[in-house]
Structure 1
Amino acid sequence: MKNFILSIVAMLTVSLSFSQISTLKGRVLDSNGFALPGATIQASPSGKAIVTDFNGFFTILNIEGEQTIKVSYIGFETVEKSVNISIGETQTLDFTLDTAISELSEVVVSGYQSGIVKGLNKQKSDLNVTNVVSADQIGKFPDDNVGDVLKRIAGVSMQGDQGEARNIVMRGLGPGLNAVTLNGDRIPSAEGDNRNVQLDLIPSAMISTIEVNKTLTPDMEADAIGGSVNLITRSNPSGFRASLTAAGGGQPIRTDGYNSNFALVIADKLSDRFSYTFSSTIQTKDYGSDNIEFEWNDPADWSSDGEIGEMDIRRYDVKRTRRSLSLNLDWNLNDNNQFFFKSIYNHRDDWENRYRMRVGSVDIDDMTVRIRRQTKGGINNSSNDATRLEDQKTQKFSLGGDHQFGKLGMDWKISTSIASENRPDERYVRYEQKNVPISDLDVSNPEFPSFVYVGNDWTNQSKFEYKKTEEAFKTTEEDNTSFSINFNLPYSVNDKFKFGLKHKDKSKMRNDVWHEYDNGLPNMDGVSNFDASITSYEAGKKYQSGMFMTAEALGNLKLIGTSDPNFDSYVMDEFAAGNYDADEQVTAFYAMIEDKIGDNLTLIAGARVESTKIDYTGYKFDEETMDTPADLGIVTGGSDYSNVLPNLTLQWDLNDKWNLNLALTQSLARPAYYDLVPYEYSNSDDQELALGNPDLEASLSTNIDAMVEYYFKGVGLLSLGYFNKNIEDWIYQYSTNDYIYNGVAGYEMQQLRNGEEATVNGIELTYQTKFLENFTFMGNYTITDSSTDKVEGRDDVPLVGQVDNMYNLSLAYETEKFFIRGSYNFADASLDELSDKAFEDRYYDEQSFLDVNANYRVNDKLSIFAEGKNLTNQPLRYYQGISTRTMQLEYYDISWNIGLKYDF
């Protein structure tokens, strides 16, 4: 089948490459030489119409004779030019647009509004439902990474890690149901157990445009039920550009905390044929977090074990450094053949020390607890510096071209990308004291429960006995290679037929190895130690953690290569069932028409076929009976399936101000690689069991979308949208306490399974406008609701990750030299993990963020800026069952930066 298709393509190429057609090419720029994407190009009397791409380019085929070319763009003056094109001739016609002046002589598009305008024009011209954020807008928010930018878009919320936005929730659907692409290709994931892309890994300064596709068209990858985020890097400059940004600041949760940020962009058009764009950033954050966690017992056990099974008091000291490089090259061989090379490299080092005091083994009768103190760090060398080092990298390289063979257009691209996470020489040391007396387990305020100790035993270093030291080496890697080719062929004035093919080869592996040292160290008073307690602990003064072995002492221990008989060179633990290898191939073919019906209605109709083949290798492990790697059972498996995904999209331009978008589409979400691996982890003594599921089906969603938009005469938008998603074979975590394993009943088992059907409904409202000459308001609100069927043991639970209410508000004031903006972001609570009973369900609590940033333009080249984030000190919080029952509470404090930007 594939060879047949390629043969047809080859014949079409040969037969059409010699036809003589007339072509008009050009580019639309603003008065500063920046591209204007989404500009409307109309030619008369031919009636042809087209819009500019992300770099402002346009091409009109089969256009001859005297033509008047009109370019219109929201917020800019409309421009017309005349051109005379001979048969078989290719001409170039460029446009430079000036900002529009209203009847009151008010400049509509100023520095800040230019970013809004570019996003609105691209959004208006897109046939699918999108939100577009340009680099100008990105730079006006205090957002260091792409995740922080995305949380300000309608229908989007983010899940955080150490105070930074990492995983995307779109239209109430969790990270596993959404896609992130870079210049149109999926980005591999550096995490071992899912397909999530770590959006805090990519600095916002590296991105030119963010396009959030809430509906898909057949020429897009279909693996996105909630939506697909496309990150577009800078390319194709119109002339020389260079800018340098430098900033510094702090995060006062740690007295010695600091932030620094440097960014450099250099771009130039060296000739009419060749241009380059180089971007680089380096960001460093030295900060931390204050954390408390609780494990709540089943009410049936409260009389003997108390309400709280475990309590953690955790102190994190964190340093993160991001380094990013990008080089994009564009080469126009001639009017009909263009080539490009795009590359990006992102590298984040995360150094962390954790000091954890864990209170457990609660005995209500004797009023005693067990206290464990654990220091987490790493080997004390030049790389780890006595910390846990998480070394994450993503890199992507693409080579492609755009070609015109008569009426037939063709583009192609070859891409390779790698994501990896390495955690070398990660170390843990644990000390323990049993039968520590307590006088009370205080749960009068379940948001902040605590233990009340008797005497000073809980802080007596001499009574804390050494238990063990562990060292881990962890590696995860995903490699992707893809090839795509697309063809488009016009068959009437403004109509075209488009088809294409894409093939992707992916491989993913995780290999974690643990070592253990059981004896050899004295009690805590005999090693180097320190008091990790913080008087101003964000969770409250009553949560003091006490003494711990220092990270430097842990890092200096001689572990690997020791001759001590107490050192176990390889530990068999539950991690052994977590290692795996997976290979996946996806081949997709699509065909679609884009048909303009009359003057105002545009139709996209087509389908995409995606065939998926995956093979994997995993392991079976019983903690009680297996002692060496030779004991592990190897399990293999695979699956092979295809999906036919029809697509119907309509856009009705009622007039220059009103747009109506309707779409009926299908999309899918593949299970995570590890979830498909038929691994088995069991503990026969405790009768605990975790299983992979090679029978998991990909989730298939039928989507209905409607969006009506009104674009104001100046700079502004009012839109109202509705969406419905009917998801078959959605995935949830099944739990039971009565599973039969190897003929033995009563196992506590967990496994991901397919539910029968889930439904999501939602409404989105967006309003943005400029008023009183200098003020700009932007706001959006999304409400969603979900329901599920056939969840074993549970009735009518919401979809995991679904957020009921989300909204963003921002107010900006701008003059010729000064700009200030305040922004507020809110997301409701959502179900994070489904258990076998409601009491044990885990929820991600509501969160809100208040940020302020300001900018002063000293002259045309130099600007000074300041920004403050998380001004309300919003913590990360999870709760169990009901909102007052805290499971985790983690504070990060505010952060601030001041800096300057110089444009050369």
Structure 2
Amino acid sequence: MKYNATGLPLLGMPLALLATALIAANAVAQSDQPQAMETVTVTAQASNARSDLDRQRDSNKVVAVQTSDAIGELPDANVTEALQRMPGVFITRDQGEGRFVGVRGIDPNLNAATINGVSLPAPETHTRAVALDVIPSDLLASLEVFKTLTPDMSADSIGGAIEIKSLNTLDYDGSPYKFTTENSYSELQDENSPKMAATMTSIFDLDGERRLGVALAVSHQERDFGSENIETDGSWEEFTAEDGSVGMGTTEIEQRDYTISRERTGVAANFDLDLGDDSRLYLHSLYSDFSDQEIRQRNSWKLGDERDEPETISQNSAQWEEAALEKSLKDRLEEQEIISVVFGGEHVFDPWDVSYALGYSNAEESEPNRRDTDFVLDSLRLGYVEAGDTPRMAVGSEDVEAVLNPASYVLDELVIEDNFTEDKELSFRLDFSREIDWAGKPSMIKFGLHARQRGKNGDLNASVYEGFGGDYTLADVVRSSVDYDLGAFGPGVNVGGLNSFINANLPDFELDETETALVSARDYAMDEDIAALYVMNTIEFDVSQLVFGVRYERTDFTAEGVNVVESEEPLPGAEVIADEVYATQVNFEKKYDHFFPSVNYKFEYSDNIVLRAAYSESLSRPSFGDLNPSPDKIEYDEGELEVEAGNSALAPYESHNIDFSAEYYAEDLGMFSLGLFHKSIDNFIVMSEVSSTVDPTRFIGNLSVDDAEVWQPINGDSARISGAELAWTQGFDNGFLLRVNATFTDSEADLGLDTRSERSNKIPMPSQADIVGNFVVGYEQDAFSMRFSAAFRGERLLDVDLEDAGNDRYEEDHLQLDLSARYRFDNGLQLSFTGVNLTDEPYYVHSSGFNGQYEEYGPTYAIGLSYSTF
């Protein structure tokens, strides 16, 4: 056992006692130093850190803050990646880039995000979470993550509320500007990618005391990169082979190679009019355009199905006969656009302060002319000879020649899609506040009205071709080799050759009207109107502050969709849209309301110590994918029914939240905080087989059902999340700056399964990361500065198999190391270097230790030059 200087066993000390001891020791050590040693060199990094901490200390809520200057010191290309450095925040990634943001380890769908006070819509089809990577970090003034709520904030946040603030024109004197150019290099793809950004502000003096501030920010990035992937389609289960051997196996494994061209363009235009006499008007706008050209080469090793026995099997290998190898190309351009505009004002009409804001935001996602093409080779002897993180595939010796011959693969299917999703919101808020006397103490009463009208629409269009009027093979469009490091890949598909081939021969292809109708008829429209009233009071005591009140929210939800049924038997009353395909309209309406009390108490125990306690109630509405009224699948055949559908009747998650925290602020640059939190959540949502409880007439009218398998998301019983959050910031006289934070959580959810179920009802909260941590060490001396950072996210449960817990899918721990360095010249120029994902950390998902998905991205390096007068 290890001991500290006092002789106490260090590993046995309670965490809180250890923190107290460290703080006390630090204070004593500082008091013993000569006066000359107390002089601190103020560097840019230290100044930015102090600004962040000052805003955190002054807040009446538990909050983490990061200003634009601090964001610029790290190699973060977008808002998502900038947020990952903050205490308790983790991110999920797409192709190695940060996409969605989770707070305190909680599913990103359970957070709220606003920009300049306006809620951000989600352009993606299924999620409510906003992919903040579409917003370049160059356009930001600050990021704030609120972990407790006050009544004047929207209640739709269980994890945290993320507030993004773009540039405020009146924050700067004169007419400063900044220009940046950068080039990044993807080691995996051996590609260079340019980026340019500019920011300009100016203030114009008008008649009287009025001033008009204007700020413009523009950012454009073109990035060419990619990834290599191997994943399992389905679960691993126990097989007994034809020779009697027994082992765990899976019947489909995919090798994937991605080549991606991603562009981001962001424009912010902000206008602030100072009218004097404590009045101002503002117009803040943001436009973001995001395009993602993805080329995916794929080998699908279709080894069998659940009923096919392998020839041989062991714990690490298996072999099937009558298997198939499918070579596919996905050629997809995804375009996303977000527009956010807010007009508002703030006025003082003694004794009342009045503020108002009218906001509009619109998010769109389109997939124009997406093409998925499959070539297949049947009757093969296939398998794998390793079943670890990256399974190694094997081909029977008699089939090697055919597998390597592109002429062996026959054109099997072509799907051309044009999909469009739109999410728009109109919001209004009106707030009144004034100072009053409360039992002899100064206080501020505040009340207001907030309203949001949101609409989510999906228009799905696909043409499925399965007849081609010729003996077309992969040889007609072959790419001789694919650069793929996770195993032998063989020939691929030439993108340009395939597109030319399709354009020349498409009129001769035969449209599969049944499959086309099944995919294309599932359009949907969902409307969500929220009206809120609140009242709150802030009381200032001598050394403390109390904020309390209540918020009322009413939600009106309507949904329109289509039941698309594939059935050999006619469906009474339904519209026939193709052979054996029937459609019926689905309409749903639901109204619900909630009261949300909250209390935030802040106590300044001393000049250095701030204590906080908070209680609040909040909710998170179900994701739009779960609410979707148009089922993904309805198949009926001679009394057997199979359904995969959303559930528009879902109730929202409801949470009771308790927070306690202690924050120590050193005289010089330094802060240590410890926070404890607990969330009790009702109406936990889980995907479940509900054939025993659901009414099948909802899907197929009066057709008789002998056997049904119906999968829908349902509200489970309850869940809880408890955790501790630690953060430490320390500046040193020698130019070093240390920022460390960690969040530890423990969660449990009740699936609400029938007691006859063989699996346990208790699981971790899905998407909950048990540990989230960040380590940043910075150094600045004269004109040189650098930062090394590490972001860690612990294992989390992604998917639940209600029949077999062994098939639950977990996302493995992830640790990413990044580096940035800068040198500032006297004339305003700055040279920068960044390295991202230095250790090539993979993304890995597994089921009971077997591959679910393994993906590598490689490191990325960038060098940049900027000129600034800020």
TM-score of Structure 1 vs Structure 2, range by shorter chain: 0.7 to 0.9
Superposition pairs of residues 81-120 of structure 1, within 5 angstroms = 103-104=36-37, 106-120=39-53
- Residue matched to 1:744: 705
Tell me whether 1:148 sits opposite 2:81 in the alignment: yes
- Residue matched to 2:200: 266
User: What is the CA-CA distance between 1:468 and the residue it aligns to?
Assistant: 1.8
User: What is the CA-CA distance between 1:376 and the residue it aligns to?
Assistant: 1.3
CA contact (8 A) 2:158 2:620 kept: yes
CA contact (8 A) 1:169 1:801 kept: no
| Rounded Cα–Cα distance in structure 2 between residues aligned with 1:669 and 1:403 | 33
- Residue matched to 1:285: 223
Tell me whether 1:340 sits opposite 2:305 in the alignment: no
CA contact (8 A) 2:116 2:342 kept: no
TM-score when normalising by structure 2: 0.87
- Residue matched to 1:392: 336
2:46 partner SS: helix
User: What is the CA-CA distance between 1:568 and the residue it aligns to?
Assistant: 4.7
Give 4+ residue runs of structure 1 displaced > 4 Å after superposition: 557-563, 568-571, 624-627, 736-743
Deviations 1:72-131 (A, max 9, x none): xxxxxxxxxxxxxxxxxxxxxxxxxxxxx9843634431111211111010000011000
Using a 3 Å threshold, how does the CA distance of structure 1 residues 127 and 739 change in structure 2: closer, same or farther?
Answer: closer
User: What is the CA-CA distance between 1:560 and the residue it aligns to?
Assistant: 11
CA contact (8 A) 2:742 2:774 kept: yes
The aligned amino acid for 1:147 is: T
Tell me whether 1:636 sits opposite 2:603 in the alignment: no
Using a 3 Å threshold, how does the CA distance of structure 1 residues 295 and 192 change in structure 2: closer, same or farther?
Answer: closer
CA contact (8 A) 1:721 1:764 kept: yes
| Rounded Cα–Cα distance in structure 1 between residues aligned with 2:470 and 2:817 | 48
User: What is the CA-CA distance between 1:171 and the residue it aligns to?
Assistant: 1.1
Q: Which moved more, 1:233-242 or 1:890-899?
A: 233-242
Tell me whether 1:701 sits opposite 2:655 in the alignment: yes
- Residue matched to 1:248: 183
Q: Which moved more, 1:578-587 or 1:213-222?
A: 578-587
- Residue matched to 1:806: 772
Tell me whether 1:863 sits opposite 2:830 in the alignment: yes
Deviations 1:411-436 (A, max 9, x none): 00001110000110001111101111
| Rounded Cα–Cα distance in structure 1 between residues aligned with 2:432 and 2:782 | 46
Using a 3 Å threshold, how does the CA distance of structure 1 residues 602 and 561 change in structure 2: closer, same or farther?
Answer: farther
Using a 3 Å threshold, how does the CA distance of structure 1 residues 495 and 422 change in structure 2: closer, same or farther?
Answer: same
The aligned amino acid for 1:333 is: L
CA contact (8 A) 1:576 1:621 kept: no
Deviations 1:866-890 (A, max 9, x none): 000000101122112x2x2111111
User: What is the CA-CA distance between 1:714 and the residue it aligns to?
Assistant: 1.1
Q: Which runs of 5+ in 1 are unaligned?
A: 1-100, 378-387
User: What is the CA-CA distance between 1:213 and the residue it aligns to?
Assistant: 0.3
Q: Which moved more, 1:365-374 or 1:307-316?
A: 365-374
| Rounded Cα–Cα distance in structure 1 between residues aligned with 2:497 and 2:513 | 21
- Residue matched to 1:14: none
CA contact (8 A) 2:183 2:194 kept: yes
Q: Which moved more, 1:443-452 or 1:208-217?
A: 443-452
CA contact (8 A) 1:580 1:674 kept: no
Tell me whether 1:733 sits opposite 2:687 in the alignment: yes
CA contact (8 A) 1:278 1:327 kept: yes
The aligned amino acid for 2:786 is: I
Using a 3 Å threshold, how does the CA distance of structure 1 residues 890 and 624 change in structure 2: closer, same or farther?
Answer: farther
| Rounded Cα–Cα distance in structure 2 between residues aligned with 1:190 and 1:251 | 27
Using a 3 Å threshold, how does the CA distance of structure 1 residues 596 and 764 change in structure 2: closer, same or farther?
Answer: same
Tell me whether 1:476 sits opposite 2:442 in the alignment: no
CA contact (8 A) 1:474 1:511 kept: yes
- Residue matched to 2:601: 650
Using a 3 Å threshold, how does the CA distance of structure 1 residues 194 and 616 change in structure 2: closer, same or farther?
Answer: same
Superposition pairs of residues 614-625 of structure 1, within 5 angstroms = 614-625=557-568
- Residue matched to 2:732: 771
CA contact (8 A) 1:341 1:399 kept: yes
2:80 partner SS: helix
Deviations 1:9-29 (A, max 9, x none): xxxxxxxxxxxxxxxxxxxxx
- Residue matched to 2:572: none
Deviations 1:804-842 (A, max 9, x none): 111111111110110111111111110111221212212
For 2:537, which of 593, 604, 609 is the aligned residue? 593
User: What is the CA-CA distance between 1:274 and the residue it aligns to?
Assistant: 1.1
- Residue matched to 2:361: 417
| Rounded Cα–Cα distance in structure 2 between residues aligned with 1:376 and 1:632 | 29
Superposition pairs of residues 494-509 of structure 1, within 5 angstroms = 494-509=442-457
| Rounded Cα–Cα distance in structure 2 between residues aligned with 1:528 and 1:299 | 37
Using a 3 Å threshold, how does the CA distance of structure 1 residues 822 and 404 change in structure 2: closer, same or farther?
Answer: same
Q: Alpha carbon RMSD of aligned pairs, Å?
A: 2.2
| Rounded Cα–Cα distance in structure 1 between residues aligned with 2:470 and 2:771 | 53
| Rounded Cα–Cα distance in structure 2 between residues aligned with 1:127 and 1:284 | 41
User: What is the CA-CA distance between 1:627 and the residue it aligns to?
Assistant: 5.2
| Rounded Cα–Cα distance in structure 2 between residues aligned with 1:141 and 1:451 | 44
Q: Which runs of 5+ in 2 are unaligned?
A: 1-33, 312-319, 569-575, 697-702
Superposition pairs of residues 175-574 of structure 1, within 5 angstroms = 175-235=108-168, 236=170, 237-255=172-190, 257-271=191-205, 273-295=211-233, 297=235, 299-303=237-241, 307-362=249-304, 364-365=310-311, 367-377=321-331, 388-438=332-382, 440-443=383-386, 445=388, 447-454=390-397, 455-492=400-437, 494-518=442-466, 519-524=468-473, 526-534=475-483, 537-538=484-485, 540=486, 543-557=487-501, 563-564=507-508, 566-568=510-512, 571-572=515-516
User: What is the CA-CA distance between 1:545 and the residue it aligns to?
Assistant: 2.1
TM-score when normalising by structure 1: 0.84
CA contact (8 A) 1:486 1:501 kept: yes
CA contact (8 A) 1:109 1:117 kept: no
1:205 partner SS: helix
CA contact (8 A) 2:517 2:578 kept: no
2:42 partner SS: coil
CA contact (8 A) 1:183 1:230 kept: yes
CA contact (8 A) 1:735 1:835 kept: no
User: What is the CA-CA distance between 1:546 and the residue it aligns to?
Assistant: 1.8
Using a 3 Å threshold, how does the CA distance of structure 1 residues 807 and 674 change in structure 2: closer, same or farther?
Answer: closer
Tell me whether 1:665 sits opposite 2:616 in the alignment: yes
1:137 partner SS: helix
Tell me whether 1:139 sits opposite 2:72 in the alignment: yes
Tell me whether 1:899 sits opposite 2:864 in the alignment: yes
CA contact (8 A) 2:120 2:361 kept: yes
Using a 3 Å threshold, how does the CA distance of structure 1 residues 702 and 184 change in structure 2: closer, same or farther?
Answer: same
2:460 partner SS: strand
CA contact (8 A) 1:355 1:532 kept: no
CA contact (8 A) 2:327 2:374 kept: yes
User: What is the CA-CA distance between 1:470 and the residue it aligns to?
Assistant: 1.3
Deviations 1:468-501 (A, max 9, x none): 2110000000111011000001003631100011
| Rounded Cα–Cα distance in structure 1 between residues aligned with 2:588 and 2:794 | 40
Using a 3 Å threshold, how does the CA distance of structure 1 residues 225 and 494 change in structure 2: closer, same or farther?
Answer: same
Q: Which moved more, 1:697-706 or 1:302-311?
A: 302-311
Deviations 1:582-614 (A, max 9, x none): 1111001100000012x1111011000010001
User: What is the CA-CA distance between 1:773 and the residue it aligns to?
Assistant: 2.0
| Rounded Cα–Cα distance in structure 2 between residues aligned with 1:254 and 1:527 | 26
CA contact (8 A) 1:862 1:900 kept: yes
| Rounded Cα–Cα distance in structure 2 between residues aligned with 1:287 and 1:872 | 17
| Rounded Cα–Cα distance in structure 2 between residues aligned with 1:344 and 1:631 | 43
CA contact (8 A) 2:41 2:733 kept: no
User: What is the CA-CA distance between 1:859 and the residue it aligns to?
Assistant: 1.3
| Rounded Cα–Cα distance in structure 1 between residues aligned with 2:504 and 2:513 | 8
| Rounded Cα–Cα distance in structure 1 between residues aligned with 2:388 and 2:683 | 40
Counting aligned pairs with the same residue, the percent is: 27
CA contact (8 A) 1:372 1:431 kept: yes
User: What is the CA-CA distance between 1:624 and the residue it aligns to?
Assistant: 4.5
| Rounded Cα–Cα distance in structure 1 between residues aligned with 2:389 and 2:196 | 44
